[in-house]
Amino acid sequence: MQRGKIIYPKKRGLSQEQKELAARGSYSVILVVVALFLIRPLMVSQILNRAEAYSAFGLFEDSKRQCNKVLLIDGNNSRAWCQLGHIYRAEGDLHMALEAYRRATEADPTNKPANYELAMMHLREGRHQEAITYFEQVRALGPDQNERLQQDGFSYHKSALGALIGCYEKVGDPDKARFTREELRVFYPDTICLDQTQTQNSPSPED
């Protein structure tokens, strides 16, 4: 050996067995990620079902905890925000309810219950123009599905049309009020149009 010459050990490549182990480990990680992605919607749905059940029995704090679990998984879950809105409204915290419903509609503009509840909250405060915005969104989403009507008989679409008539009269737009009244008769021929005061006092489906 020559003086001053450093001999480094040769690098040995991975054996075939080591390569196979590494590959299996990578596949396992991928499978876990895919499985979590696939079961997440089911898991979220089950948690929200639990939240709604707690709320139905008046266990609002338990219901909130379930909603917050969902929002940790998916911060833009419209159903969770809407459920929180129902809870805050039932507790009398209208400011928090308004914010929760607003977040629900931002996350999903097609969330009919959230749009309806926002409209009703604005209507009860006399903010007719703001109420019109959300009632019109419910209107645009069309009649409620039969499954929804079979649950409690309440129709967001029908109620929104009735409310819009009064709102348009209040903001001085009789043509839109008349058109909406005709639309209500077409969709719901047996309906007696309610006046503004009756509409404001109409209960929400969760009441």
Lowest mean pLDDT among 37-41, 77-81, 175-179: 37-41
Instruction: Calculate mean pLDDT across residues 23-50.
Output: 67
- Contact (CB, 8 A) for 71 and 103: no
DSSP string over 77-127? -HHHHHHHHHHHHHHT-HHHHHHHHHHHHHH-TT-HHHHHHHHHHHHHTT-
pLDDT at site 154: 86
Query: What rounded mean pLDDT belongs to the chain?
Result: 82
pLDDT digits (tens, 9 = 90+) for 47-92: 999 999 999 999 999 999 999 999 998 999 999 999 999 999 999 9
Look at residue 193 and tell me whether its pLDDT is greater than 70: no
**What does pTM read for this prediction?**
0.74
Look at residue 133 and tell me whether its pLDDT is greater than 80: yes
| Residue recorded with tokens 């599905």 | 145
Q: Where residue 164 falls among pLDDT bands split at 50, 70, 90?
A: very high
Domain-wise residue ranges, the chain:
23-92, 109-207
For the 109-207 domain, the top CATH level (class) is mainly alpha
pLDDT digits (tens, 9 = 90+) for 92-105: 999 999 999 999 99
Residue 116: closest CA among 87, 92, 91, 141: 141
pLDDT at site 141: 94
Instruction: Calculate mean pLDDT across residues 33-39.
Output: 52
- Of 32-46, 113-127, 145-159, the range with the highest mean pLDDT is 113-127
Domains 23-92 and 109-207 share a fold: yes
Topology of domain 23-92 in CATH is 1.25.40
